[in-house]
Structure 1
């Protein structure tokens, strides 16, 4: 990557508020707070780009509604062409999608996290997400300054890849709604 890439987690969704596990559920929309978080992410990127003297050329987003809405808000402030990439989706969580956080966390406690190839609840494994995020990042090429809008677990997998570790070996990275990481020879979180 010859230009900076910004990883953005979508803003708060309706299901975040309801404490429902989303995974690849396509339809949850942004809340008003989620729209504000997307606007804040765009401002962080704009401020960071002042030093670069660059502008956003491309915004690549997961095709899930909460990410697309975030990308549209970012594009309205920063410009850039929007492209959808299904590889940027959240981890598929199978039977856990649509269930409450408490039930999901209980299932997670019983899961063997030491084997990154095990699918979670009939969904994807950690390595599935890691591999597709690595491929999506590798395909960015040199389009100029790029914003990638994705999801918490997917961004954690991307950060593990960028840091050269497997997802089950990586330190836990908190990725709140609207978080922005700048990738340019390293990983730097903006606004933190």
Structure 2
């Protein structure tokens, strides 16, 4: 079974360069809608068995064209939303970005108890994301072992999840390799967990 962790297309908050994580969040821009359509085209020949997305508007709107290609509905899933940044919500200033990056760095280095100010700790993000992926694996692995499950989510939480889930994603990769809009981190299930096959098109 393969799991494609896909970052949503360009949202209005991306244009403003704000830390926007509260649900349901802003919609896609016109460019974002074009990116979502292009993503659907890129995946059209893949053996996609199901399309999931976080409850965020931008994730749902990105997943919709992909699901439509395969005659499916987007299935919303709990636990894969973006990191709750708390007091940093909707900020775009240097200090906010510096604070967010510092906490992300701590998490990739294994210190998961450090919280964002007024927001989540790494332990909380890890617990919810790993549960969501475990539930999807239990649902699909036996029936869809030769297929692809698409999960549209968010750049920050995908970077962290890939490190926590996979046996070959190093902290340095999760910490520094930003995922562009509609970028894909491709995972494959193993006996012991997950293995990352590629990070935005680059083999890992």
- What pairs with 1:15-26 in structure 2 (closer than 5 Å)? 15-26=13-24
Pairwise CA distance, 1:57: 2.5
Query: Unpaired segments of 5 or more residues in structure 1?
Result: none
Choose the corresponding residue for 2:151, options 122, 136, 148: 148
SS in 1 for 2:152: strand
- What pairs with 1:29-178 in structure 2 (closer than 5 Å)? 29-47=27-45, 49=46, 54=47, 56-108=48-100, 111=103, 113=106, 115-140=111-136, 141=138, 142=140, 144=144, 145-164=148-167, 169=171, 171=173, 172=175, 173-178=177-182
CA distance in 1, matches of 2:71, 2:165: 26
CA distance in 2, matches of 1:12, 1:109: 20
Pairwise CA distance, 1:166: 9.7
- CA offsets, 1:97-126, max 9 Å, x none? 111152421333665826321210111112
Pairwise CA distance, 1:86: 2.5
CA contact (8 A) 1:42 1:74 kept: yes
In the alignment, does 2:188 pair up with 1:184? Answer: yes
Q: 1:82 to 1:135 in 2, by over 3 A?
A: same
SS in 2 for 1:21: coil
Pairwise CA distance, 1:75: 1.2
Q: 1:156 to 1:179 in 2, by over 3 A?
A: same
CA distance in 2, matches of 1:108, 1:94: 10
Pairwise CA distance, 1:129: 1.4
CA contact (8 A) 1:25 1:97 kept: no
CA distance in 2, matches of 1:109, 1:85: 26
CA distance in 2, matches of 1:146, 1:110: 32
State the superposition RMSD in angstroms: 2.4
Number of matched pairs: 183
The TM-score normalised by the length of structure 2 is 0.79
